[in-house]
Structure 1
Amino acid sequence: MSAIRYLSLFSGMEAAHLAWALLGWECVGVAEIDPAPCALLAHRLPHVPNLGSVTEITDEQIAALGHIDVVIGGSPCQDLSVAGNRAGLAGARSGLFHEQLRIFNAARTFCGARWLVWENVPGAFSSNRGRDFAVVAGALAGCELDVPRDGWGNEGVALGPNGLVEWSVLDAQWFGVAQRRRRVFAVLDTGDWAGRPPVLLEPDSLRGDSAPRRETGEGVAGTLTRSAGERGAEDGERGQLIPEIARCVTTGEAKRQDWETCTIIPAVAHTLRADGFDASEDGTGRGTPLVPVAFDCKASGRAGFGVGEIASTMRSMGHADSHQNGGSHLAVQQGMQVRRLTPRECERLQGAPDDWTLVPNAKGKPMADGPRYKMLGNSFAVPVITWIGERIQMAHTYRQRAAA
């Protein structure tokens, strides 16, 4: 069985490599333009080509990489995050999702790619009143989708001519790291998804250490069963809401569909809060990220404290008002004193090896703390990506293992 090969976009510190090298996967290319992560990639993965800006990657460059199974990328979230300006997919940064999809389509055409993994903040569900996530899920599936009347659920499935899309909000603290880091992941399978195990839609009890339990009957398990015909829907057709809780992708009880419409199946209902569904990054439902210890490295005077056992979401501090070596960082209280977390401690919160980001910078000098914080705040949590990789590998090889 040959190794799974993947292309990483918006690579940053390349958490995908840390996660998937453990599975024996091969990275065939990265794409990054920020000087600090470019220096890290050149140092840590010197034999892997850096394709540079996703806006300039050509079909010829993709084809030259050879066979590809998976394309992964977390297109920038500044325009979708509750901490950003909420410009949505019209924003210059978050609009790079469309470039990610363009590159995947090229990898599918020229290199046989089957899987696309996309990551972003849960604010994607509420951005532009939910219409932005409708664009994302619809573009992945290959159809148009309407926003559900009650908003997007934290988990769901969309089915269209491109294939099957699963999405789920995963929290890094479920996977053994001491950080609350809720992110929405979407996985597109353009291959033979019928009969294989689900990738993201697993019972919470199988996901990690302490994911919230669902009520009986709400867990998603089993195998995916093809209930649609082979004929795909025409581009531009509207999605149809299916009220069942993922029944037709888990039990095989759904009636036959002719794909005259794209179907979207909510897997679980979203969590209701006093002020609406949860689109925040930290799980509070209030739409504003909470930092358990507010510690300003630049300002004098006292800062407000609130220390918990699990760190809040690590942020890159790359917004317009933050200095690369200052700004607001996670902090810890020791006795009566407060200090910000060191880059090494932040690496541990992301599940990365100690000093992974401590590499020579573009000038050959040791990487400063500021760029290290930014890389770590922008990164995936490694154990989450490992789990997703394990699920993709199980689904990717399902037919081969079943025949053995």
Structure 2
Amino acid sequence: MRIVSLFSGAGGFEAGFGDTHRTILVNDVAMSARDVLRQRFPDVALIEDVRNVQPDDINSADVLVAGFPCQDVSIVGGQRGLAGTRSALVEHVFRLARATRPSHILLENVQSIRFVHGGRVLLYLMHAAEKLGYSWAYRTLDSRAFGLPQRRRRFYFLASRDSDPGEVLLSDAGSTLPANSLDLSLPVGFYWTEGRSGHGLTADAIPPLKTGSSIGIPSPPAVLFPDGSVKIPTIETAERFQGFPEGWTGAASPRLRWGLVGNAVSVPVVRWISDRMNSPAPWDHKLSSPMPDRPIWPLAAWGNGRGLRLAVSVQEAPSSLDIGRISHGNYSWTDLSDRALSGFVNRARESRLLYPGGFLEHLEARLR
């Protein structure tokens, strides 16, 4: 298939589709992203501003893919929904789809798109696909189930013109992810920048990589190791936590690489979707039920493009479950500074959040 990628970022979709399909155009307004895209996909056309992409540029496309901006729909962001100027750019996906009628539209975003702003953003996506006569399916998938030691729940939406997208996203009902049971004999990931209103504690993995602070300072999660050390991943390890080879974003300036990796689509998840697009299979309609009302949409759903919408009971992990674990990998780390760790501990002690027994004590022992 011929792929047109909008809001391409670090190229996670392109890396995931790999050599099986052919990317014919990439797009990103950020100079750092364009530097990476030019290095990794030198023979692919690149257009800077999505508003300048015209139907004639993509007439031969089979698939439009877009990890459209999430800042206006994420819990961390302002939750302005499509009223926000950045997330409203997804409207250009449907502008181009209306003119070129690709076989598929594949979107990725944060899983909170199901409920922020009363679920209106997801309602827009469903309605926009149906208006074009596309059937659709969406599913929440956790990157950790695909061999990455990062708990990263993301929303994937596939609309198809002449086929059933449920045969791609829903035919594998999946496996249940193990509980996030913290055990200090294994590494524990957490957000050292938080502590007062959240902490992201994750067993043997990190919580989701983020773009960094609002002023562009890199802030990867920290990990408490069983030996008492507290470390943060290097940028090369962060790339691996998203499924990229080490050095993938090396064409960008060091400070901006963190934002590219934090915003990226997890490569192994896209590869799984790509494989299923190559080999679709029937899905079990017995797993479906009437779509509930908003404001919280289900974790997975399907629509026939003509008004029928169904919730579908599938898992956030595929049946080929491959849990990513920090303890099972050889990764590179640097020490978290005493100042950063002390700030987290102080905020945690002042908060009303619950922490597992011994966790804060281990951090305080590290400071001593």
Shorter chain as denominator, the TM-score bin is 0.5 to 0.7
Q: Which residue of 2 aligns with 1:15?
A: 12
1:181-200 to 2 correspondence within 5 Å? 181-193=152-164, 198-200=167-169
Alignment of 1:2-401 (within 5 A): 4-22=1-19, 24-63=20-59, 67-108=60-101, 113-142=102-131, 162-193=133-164, 198-205=167-174, 211-212=176-177, 292-296=189-193, 306=201, 308-317=203-212, 320=214, 322-324=215-217, 326=218, 328-334=219-225, 335-359=227-251, 361=252, 367-368=253-254, 370-395=255-280
The TM-score normalised by the length of structure 2 is 0.68
Q: Is the 8 A contact 1:295 1:340 kept in 2?
A: no
* Cα shift at 1:296: 4.5
Write out the 4+ residue segments of structure 1 that deviate beyond 4 Å after TM superposition: 304-307
Amino acid at match of 2:61: I
Secondary structure at 1:102 match in 2: helix
Q: Distance in 1 between matches of 2:224 and 2:140?
A: 30
Q: Note if contact 1:307-1:333 (Cα within 8 Å) is conserved in structure 2.
A: no
Q: Distance in 2 between matches of 1:350 and 1:306?
A: 19
Identity of aligned residues (%): 27
Q: Structure 1 residues 6, 336: closer, same or farther in 2, change over 3 A? A: same
Q: Which amino acid aligns with 1:183?
A: R
- SS state of the match for residue 204, structure 1? coil
Report the CA distance shift for 1:332/1:122 in structure 2 as closer, same or farther (over 3 A). Answer: same
What is the CA–CA distance in structure 2 between the aligned matches of 1:190 and 1:374, rounded to whole Å?
34
C-alpha separation in 2, matches of 1:356 and 1:50: 18
- Per-residue deviation, residues 259-278 of structure 1 (Å, max 9, x unmatched): xxxxxxxxxxxxxxxxxxxx
- Give a deviation string over 1:83-134, Cα, whole Å, max 9, x none: 11110111001111111111222332xxxx2000011112111122122211
CA offsets, 1:336-391, max 9 Å, x none?
Answer: 432221111111111111111112x4xxxxx31x2111111101110100011111
Q: Secondary structure at the match of 1:198?
A: helix
Q: Deviation per CA, 1:233-292, whole angstroms, max 9, x where unpaired?
A: xxxxxxxxxxxxxxxxxxxxxxxxxxxxxxxxxxxxxxxxxxxxxxxxxx9xxxxxxx94
Give 1:211's aligned amino acid.
T
Secondary structure of 2:144's aligned partner: helix
Larger helix share, 1 or 2: 2
* SS of match in other structure, 2:190: coil
Q: Does the CA contact (< 8 Å) of 1:204 and 1:211 recur in 2?
A: no
Distance 1:94 1:395, change over 3 A: same
Give TM-score scaled by structure 1 length: 0.62
Taking the aligned partners of 2:65 and 2:200, their CA distance within structure 1 comes to 37
What is the SS of the residue equivalent to 1:389? helix
Higher relative contact order (CA 8 A, sep 6+): 2
SS of the residue aligned with 1:188? strand
Task: Name the amino acid aligned to 1:49.
Answer: A
Q: Deviations over 1:54-97 (max 9, x none)?
A: 1221223233xxx2111100110111101111101110011111
Q: Is the 8 A contact 1:170 1:184 kept in 2?
A: yes
In the TM superposition, what whole-angstrom CA distance separates every residue of 1:169-192 from its partner, at most 9, and x where no partner exists? 011111111111111111001014
Q: Distance in 2 between matches of 1:62 and 1:394?
A: 25
CA distance 1:28–1:128, change in 2 (3 Å): same
The 2-side partners of 1:48 and 1:356 are apart by 17
In structure 2, runs of 5+ residues without a counterpart are: 181-187, 282-368
> Which whole-Å CA distance do the structure 1 matches of 2:166 and 2:64 have between them?
20
Alpha-carbon distance in 2 for matches of 1:25, 1:134: 30
Shift of 1:307: 5.9
Give the direction of change, closer, same or farther, for the CA distance of 1:305–1:374 in structure 2 (3 Å limit): closer
